[in-house]
Structure 1
Amino acid sequence: MLYAGDDEDSGTTDNVPSVYLPESHSGSLATGNIGLGFGLTAIAAAACAIGSLAPFLDYLFPFLPFLQNFRITQSKGFLAGSLSLASGILLNLALGDLFPEGVSSLGHSKLFPMKWSRMIATAVFIFTTTLLITAKYFIRKRFGIKHHHQQYSCSCDTNLVDTKESVYNISGDNNEKIDHQNHVVVVDQSNKASCIIHNGHEDKALEAKRLKSLGIQIAVALAIHNFPEGLATFATTIASARIGVVFAIALALHKFPEGLIIALPIYYATGSRWKAFAISATVGVFSQMLGAVFGYVLFVTYWNEAVTGFLFSIVTGILLFTILHSMLPLAHSYDPENRYCTIWTFVGIFFFGIVNSIFDLA
């Protein structure tokens, strides 16, 4: 994004839009396309908010003849496909965009030799992922959190019902006499059914917690990710309005599914469309606009690129952990026959690759 066109051998970025000022800069506030910079950042951020409205589309589908019976919030296939699509987009974003830019930033920071930049970025990425895995392990061990839905305790009452009337009511046979042995079997089966129902409620409760946790994980990762993107959009527009416009359009194209993937898990967990929209839109808009404000303040200050390099490397680890540990496993749990997951993951990878290619041609 910011470093397209860098000459790796020369180690300079004199002709490239950047928030990092040349040494000869006077220190006065930039008087360029400040309004346009904030405007384009807001447009890209708004795309995330629009994606957050996906659960509200259920109110529209009954009026569409070919989608009358379709509901986004009741379609496991849609949830599996959307999670897989977003996973593909974020995989390409993390490994094809963020991580290479982290390496480039560390190389141009002048704090490290260029040849060490990839190793340092890799070390930061591995450390971040390992830290998350370790934290998850200890949290699960400490609080006894398990993902196996079969491991539930059942505290059903196994007392036998003594009266024939009760046995008749349970079995549904009103005219037959039931001996003591059958009596026991029927009641035990009833208790077993109660256990299954009880476990079903716990299944739903744990699934809701899992979805809510996933939404929060994605929101945190994307909030960190959106901050430098807002900074990049603003800074690029200040340097070149034409490049800034193209950059913002490309950014907006992948912001829409970002809003979707934050909103849907939160909606499934809480049942509230407005809560899902509010959380997702706030994360998408606030973090990106905060990045633009930060860019405005720092546009006249020295800001070493090592900070961006470390930040992008950390976010790469966070995104990959979220994708591989939460998003794709959850998508497969809704699509056990793999009718959607693999296809839509590749669609997401291809989509982001095409968007980036179009941006590179501008």
Structure 2
Amino acid sequence: MGNVWLAFGLTLIAGLSTGIGSLIAFFAKKTNTKFLSTSLGFSAGVMIYVSMVEIFSNASDVLTEVHGEKIGVLYTIIAFFGGMLFIALIDKLIPSEKNPHEVKMVETEDEEVNKDRLKRTGVLTALAIAIHNFPEGLATFVAALQEPRVAIPIVAAIAIHNIPEGIAVSVPIYYATGSKKKAFLYSFASGLSEPIGALIGYLILMPFMNDTVSGILNAAVAGIMVFISVDELLPSAREYGEHHLSIYGMVAGMAVMAISLWLFI
């Protein structure tokens, strides 16, 4: 039960980091693009490495032990790409102009604009991010529940990539309403879908949890994390700053994740 509360707590921290993005939007005059690019690349490196080296491998081991090598590996592959398909379908349902992948700078809205349209944009962006974050919450929760030793780096990676999403919500709301409080609350609320995703996943899946379900979930989580990294984090990192900074950040993230896993062997 202790791991369950830890997993919920870490998922909550990851989700509510969107609020950090709104605070940055209020107090920063200009986006530090180099730092943001490197950080997003770092997050991608952490998630790709832990997904392929640790989570996918563990899922394959569990499913192979239960179903034999041939079927176990097949189940792992299907679940991995099933996770990718799941997050891709959710991504597809979000209109491109409201998609949280779209880069938003702190200074983007610093001009005369239609306030009603801006408010609508902010609200729709918050809704889009909430939908988008739902499977991330489930993925973070499952990873933290199954592998507590790798949970903190994953949560840090998710939290870093949620910060620009907080900016994307809070900037239009703030410029439309003039209220920092409203902008912060919208941004904060959009991140709540991550712990909600964890809660729903827990209530639905835990009664059926066994080695097969655990292995399939882990493989799917690996697929979700890899897809988020290559579809969202790395492209955003390149948009925010120099191409090489995002790559350096990614390599650093992989190295940190590798060392942290080695330390816990």
TM bracket, shorter-chain basis: 0.5 to 0.7
Mapping of residues 100-119 of structure 1, within 5 Å: 100-108=57-65, 110=66, 112-119=67-74
Assess if the C-alpha contact under 8 Å between 1:49 and 1:256 holds in 2. Answer: no
Assess if the C-alpha contact under 8 Å between 1:41 and 1:292 holds in 2. Answer: no
Which of 209, 214, 223 does residue 308 from structure 1 map onto? Answer: 214
Within the alignment, does 1:265 sit opposite 2:165 as a pair? yes
Assess if the C-alpha contact under 8 Å between 1:132 and 1:321 holds in 2. Answer: yes
Structure 2 counterpart of 1:227: 141
Provide the rounded CA distance (Å) in 1 between the counterparts of 2:96 and 2:198.
Answer: 36
Assess if the C-alpha contact under 8 Å between 2:17 and 2:162 holds in 1. Answer: no
Structure 1 counterpart of 2:54: 97
Greater helix share, structure number: 2
Which of 57, 66, 75 does residue 120 from structure 1 map onto? Answer: 75
Mapping of residues 173-184 of structure 1, within 5 Å: none
**CA 1:321/1:72 → structure 2, altered by over 3 Å: closer, same or farther?**
farther
Within the alignment, does 1:274 sit opposite 2:185 as a pair? yes
Structure 2 counterpart of 1:54: 20
| Runs of at least 5 residues in structure 2 that lack an aligned partner in the other structure | 103-110, 112-117, 172-182
Structure 2 counterpart of 1:153: none
**CA 1:57/1:78 → structure 2, altered by over 3 Å: closer, same or farther?**
farther
Assess if the C-alpha contact under 8 Å between 2:79 and 2:217 holds in 1. Answer: no
Q: CA RMSD in A?
A: 4.5
Measured against aligned partners, the alpha-carbon deviations of 1:331-361 in whole angstroms (never above 9, x if no partner) come to 21222x324211111111112222222222x
Provide the rounded CA distance (Å) in 2 between the counterparts of 1:41 and 1:119.
Answer: 28
- State the 1:213 CA deviation: 8.8
- State the 1:260 CA deviation: 2.8
Provide the rounded CA distance (Å) in 2 between the counterparts of 1:333 and 1:55.
Answer: 17
Measured against aligned partners, the alpha-carbon deviations of 1:150-205 in whole angstroms (never above 9, x if no partner) come to xxxxxxxxxxxxxxxxxxxxxxxxxxxxxxxxxxxxxxxxxxxxxxx9xxxxxx99
Matched to 1:267, the amino acid is I
**CA 1:217/1:135 → structure 2, altered by over 3 Å: closer, same or farther?**
closer
Mapping of residues 1-362 of structure 1, within 5 Å: 34=1, 36-37=2-3, 39-45=5-11, 47-48=13-14, 51-55=17-21, 58=24, 71=28, 74-108=31-65, 110=66, 112-129=67-84, 215-216=129-130, 219-232=133-146, 247=148, 250-271=150-171, 272-280=183-191, 282-288=192-198, 298=207, 303-335=209-241, 337-360=242-265
Provide the rounded CA distance (Å) in 1 between the counterparts of 2:239 and 2:43.
Answer: 16
Structure 2 counterpart of 1:241: none
Provide the rounded CA distance (Å) in 1 between the counterparts of 2:190 and 2:5.
Answer: 22
**CA 1:228/1:342 → structure 2, altered by over 3 Å: closer, same or farther?**
same
**CA 1:212/1:98 → structure 2, altered by over 3 Å: closer, same or farther?**
farther
| Runs of at least 5 residues in structure 1 that lack an aligned partner in the other structure | 1-33, 62-70, 150-196, 198-203, 234-246
Assess if the C-alpha contact under 8 Å between 1:128 and 1:318 holds in 2. Answer: yes
Task: Decide which moves more: 266-275 or 77-86.
Answer: 266-275
Provide the rounded CA distance (Å) in 2 between the counterparts of 1:222 and 1:131.
Answer: 11
Q: Percent identity?
A: 14
Provide the rounded CA distance (Å) in 2 between the counterparts of 1:55 and 1:144.
Answer: 21
- State the 1:286 CA deviation: 4.2
Provide the rounded CA distance (Å) in 1 between the counterparts of 2:251 and 2:257.
Answer: 10
- State the 1:58 CA deviation: 3.9
- State the 1:91 CA deviation: 0.7
Structure 1 counterpart of 2:108: none
Give the 3-state SS of the residue equivalent to 2:243 in structure 1: coil
Assess if the C-alpha contact under 8 Å between 1:87 and 1:348 holds in 2. Answer: yes
Task: Decide which moves more: 268-277 or 99-108.
Answer: 268-277
Measured against aligned partners, the alpha-carbon deviations of 1:61-99 in whole angstroms (never above 9, x if no partner) come to 8xxxxxxxxx39722223322221211111112212221
TM-score norm. by structure 1 comes to 0.52
